[in-house]
Structure 1
Amino acid sequence: MLFRQLEYFVALAAERHFARAAAACDVSQPALSEAIRKLERELGVPLVRRGQNFEGLATEGEQLVTWARRILADRDAMNLEAAAFRTGVSGDLRLGVIPGAATTVAALVDTFCAAHPRARIRLDAGLRSGEIAERVRRFELDAGLLYPDGVDTAGLVLTTLYRERHVLVGTAGLLDDAPLDDDPAGPTWSGVAGLPLCLLRPGMRGRDLVDEAAAAHGTRLRPRVETDSVATLIALTETGRWASIVPHAWLSALPSPARLRTVALPSALDDAAPLGARVALVRADTEPTSVLTAAFEYEARNAAWTG
């Protein structure tokens, strides 16, 4: 009964609405409300602020919902480990991935699923690094691939996987006519600024890397198109009218016309270092680790990564 009450409480915290939480749990709204009231009586503290409608979690509820998620995660991990003794690794792994790693993670997912045919992966590839870290801490994700630099990774186990390279991409006709190589040392950011650019949205780490490098070289980029999709950026470059800056791994994974050209760009700190960022795997720093998460971490550590 306690687990059921905790499940309803966690669902309410996620949905922020009694009716939606009840629907998510496949129970009636009165049953969900009564179960949460029983949990409040057992704990001796209010969990929910109630009016005519849901008004949010009480201060105590905001603090205790993380414990509820952890208890449910530990229950699931114990059940998965027991199942692993019987039939091998199984269950659903909830994985969050930054857009820049959406293609490189595919090989890892394929290898993991081949090694553990009873396991399943629920992958969200549209998350930002900070969101992934926070959701792993809240036990809403089992693991994630993110950019660790500049992100709070307290309470997480971090494993660096590879260094991602970002390159300027466009058709040969577009880039060959651009003033990119005025400096004998290599392409200039001022030359990049003169191109018809489409870039990721500000606030996304891939875009922040670009803006920081451009600013370090005295340049500000003003793209005409901004999006949260790397695939959209590549599709635009293939028209021959746009240039973009994307993770190089995307070009290796997608079928792109031979007329596309890539140009390495200098980073913010060192002109000799290519523009890029570390990509790491994170999981919650809890022991024992879920057998499912541990199996995925093992495959990630032993993968042949290329960024």
Structure 2
Amino acid sequence: MIDKLEMFLAVAKEGHFGRAAASLGITQPTLSAGIKQLEEQLGVLLIFRGSRYGGLTPEGQSALVWARRIVGDSRQLREEMRATRHGLSGRLRIAVIPTALTWAAKISARFGANHPNVGFTILSRTSVEILQMIDDLDVDAGISYLDNEPLGKVSTVPLYDERFMLVCGADCDLAARDSVSWQELQGRRLCLLTSDMQNRRIINRNLASAGVTPQATVESNSTVVLAAHVLAGDWLTVLPEDIASFLADGKPIRLIRLEGPEPSHAVGLVAPYREPHTPVLEALLAEARRMVSDR
């Protein structure tokens, strides 16, 4: 039944039989037959369908919760048996907010040094996408904000508190300053992350609290693009200190502390709430805790 549940999860995620079949590497008739067999085994209709996908039935919505749990348990069983035979191995999939990608590198470097048979796939995603990917079993963990928007039922390890910096060119009139207030960004030419990013929503709140209407003439979901615009012209951007320091290293860019009305926000490792976790994921959470305690 596990393979049929995997098919069901794929259809629920994609909302389309053709895309779901492609994601599983099977034909659409094979997928349709698998879903029909699952419905016959359970004795309920899971998916409304005529000539195309029509959404999950109420029974399908309930089955989705169970399917995620059963498939997750099945994968955990395989991971535990593999760890028993061969030690920690495999691949960890982590989705990360763009401003925390440097921390993903720190964690994977430390973890990889102790567990060389474990590989990493690291994806840059929004905070909303990260939680959805964890629910859909598309990633094993994420790095995201912990205290700004609802997370649901997850396991977390706080990593750091985000502190905002104004990023400007070395020839900017603000470059010699040690600190700048949010009010002073009024009328400035800004390049910022796109509004689907939680980082941008926090920045917007800080600007609004300071009575500033942001003039973001450039928006991007890439911090590299923002730093490149600071170098290319008279744009200013706002980024957390760690990623800003990384992007500014060796470049004619200045980082200036922003004095703001809103407290810093915690960023941390987020994993599915499951006890016990798979051996690899449990080791990752333990490594993250050690990394924080060693700071």
User: TM-score of the superposition, structure 2-length normalised?
Assistant: 0.91
What percentage of residue pairs aligned between the two structures are identical? Answer: 34
Alignment match, 1:296: 284
Matched ranges for 1:121-270 at <5 A: 121-125=120-124, 127-176=125-174, 187-254=180-247, 256-269=249-262
Change (3 A) 1:250 1:291: same
Q: Is the 8 A contact 2:230 2:236 kept in 1?
A: yes
Matched ranges for 1:107-118 at <5 A: 107-118=106-117
Aligned partner of 1:172: which letter?
A
Q: SS of the counterpart of 1:103?
A: helix
Q: Is the 8 A contact 2:46 2:57 kept in 1?
A: yes
Q: Name the Cα RMSD after superposition.
A: 2.3
CA distance in 2, matches of 1:242, 1:255: 14
Change (3 A) 1:202 1:255: closer
Shift of 1:304: 4.7
Alignment match, 1:279: 267
User: TM-score of the superposition, structure 1-length normalised?
Assistant: 0.88
Q: Is the 8 A contact 1:130 1:152 kept in 2?
A: no
Q: Is the 8 A contact 1:212 1:268 kept in 2?
A: no
| Alignment length (residue pairs) | 295
Q: SS of the counterpart of 2:261?
A: coil
Change (3 A) 1:192 1:60: same
1:27 aligns with 2:26: yes
CA distance in 1, matches of 2:175, 2:27: 65
Shift of 1:267: 2.1
Alignment match, 1:102: 101
CA distance in 1, matches of 2:281, 2:142: 10
Q: SS of the counterpart of 1:40?
A: helix
Structure 1: stretches of 5+ with no match in the other structure: none
